[in-house]
Amino acid sequence: MSSATTFAALAALAAYCAGLLLTLCLAARLTPRTWWRQANARALAVLVCGTALLGGLLHAVFGPDAAPGTAMPAMTLPEEAPVAGAQYRVREHLNLRAHTGINARRLAVVPAGAQVTATGRRRGDWWQVSAVVDDRRIDGWASSLWLRRADEGAPPPGSAVL
């Protein structure tokens, strides 16, 4: 087991232990004392659910993946990296942006069905592409979710595109 995996496991264990402690403190303050005089299913359910919810919340907020300055883990999408020079078809009107992210400045709008060429650069779901818009070649970033391989068949007319 690598040190990163060990650290992640210890961080998860610490988060759930803290969740158990918080659950015990909250249960002592917010539930009737008669609930805790003897072990029963209700007390077990409160402890298990509270530990799972609070521990999961603590792990999500303070876990090793949530540390500032670290990238979020990549989604498990097909590892189809953009090949430099490969042609892609725009699924719907596509905002070509100056940088990655939906808040980046929009350089142009590429019409649906147009062809773009990948430069080979990638940052998560964002690919750098080159497109011709209004007889100008523009390089910018686009979400790969809106691109299809040029050889991929278009959906039949009238079908819902998700």
Report which of 67, 150, 62 is spatially closest to residue 113, judged by C-alpha positions: 150
- Among 34, 66, 98, the domain boundary falls at 66
**19 and 53 together in one domain:** yes
Within 31-105, residue ranges assigned H as helices are 41-62
pTM score above 0.85: no
Examine the domain organization and report whether 54 and 94 are in the same domain: no
Task: State how many domains the chain has.
Answer: 2
Task: Centre a 10 Å sphere on the Cβ of residue 113 and count the other Cβ atoms it contains.
Answer: 11
* pLDDT for 59: 85
Residue 144's pLDDT is 86
Q: Is residue 158 part of a domain?
A: no
Q: What is the pLDDT of residue 128?
A: 93
Give me the pLDDT at residue 109, please.
93
pLDDT score for 155: 55
Measured in residues, the chain has a length of: 162
Q: What is the CATH number of the domain that holds 145?
A: 2.30.30.40
pLDDT at 96: 93
Residues 30 and 59 in one domain: yes
User: What pLDDT is recorded for position 125?
Assistant: 87
What domain range includes position 117?
A: 87-149
Predicted pLDDT at 161: 46
Phi, psi of 9 (to 5 degrees): -65, -40
| Radius of gyration of the CA atoms of the chain, in A | 25
Give the separation between CA 144 and CA 129, rounded to whole angstroms. Answer: 10
pLDDT of residue 111: 92
Non-local CB neighbours of 20 within 8 Å, separated by 6+ positions: 47, 50, 51, 55
77 inside domain = no
**92 and 54 assigned to the same domain:** no
Regions of the chain where pLDDT drops below 50? 67, 69-78, 159-162
Measured CA to CA in angstroms, residue 135 lies from 59, 109, 128, 131 at distances of 51, 13, 19, 10
